[in-house]
């Protein structure tokens, strides 16, 4: 099961074979945001509090395109 904070690998799409950490999960729509994956450009209008412009941010990825990433660990021989 994929949960927030776990490391995952992307199986298909423009970011195939990249790895990242899950930031946010939307279980209702079966999607997740992964840090540094599926970056999109967003045009933001200027307000009193924030400066406008074009920002880059992560967008959602379907959970079926994610796989839990397990780092290779040496197994100790049992005696």
Q: Token digits for 29?
A: 């729509």
Q: Single out the residue of 32, 42, 39 nearest to residue 65, CA to CA.
A: 32
Give the pLDDT band of residue 70 (cuts 50, 70, 90).
Answer: confident
* Residue 52 within any structural domain of the chain: yes
Q: What is the predicted pLDDT for the residue at 74?
A: 53
Structural domain harbouring 27 = 7-68
Q: Calculate the alpha carbon distances from 58 to 18, 49, 55 in Å.
A: 14, 22, 10
* Residue 23 within any structural domain of the chain: yes
Confidence check: pLDDT of 40 > 60: yes
* Residue 14 within any structural domain of the chain: yes
b/e code 59-70 from CB counts within 10 Å (16+ = b):
ebbebebbeeee
* Residue 78 within any structural domain of the chain: no
Tally of domains in the chain: 1
Confidence check: pLDDT of 15 > 60: yes
The pTM for the full model equals 0.76
Q: Domain of 50: which CATH number? A: 2.30.30.30
């Amino acid at each position: 099961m994929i949960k927030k904070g776990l490391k995952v690998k992307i199986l298909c799409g423009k970011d195939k074979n990249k790895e990242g950490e899950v930031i946010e999960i939307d279980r209702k729509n079966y999607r997740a945001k992964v840090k540094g994956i599926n970056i999109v450009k967003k045009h933001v209008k200027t307000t009193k509090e924030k400066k406008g412009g074009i920002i880059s941010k992560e967008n959602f990825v379907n959970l079926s395109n994610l796989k839990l990433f397990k780092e290779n660990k040496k197994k100790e021989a049992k005696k």
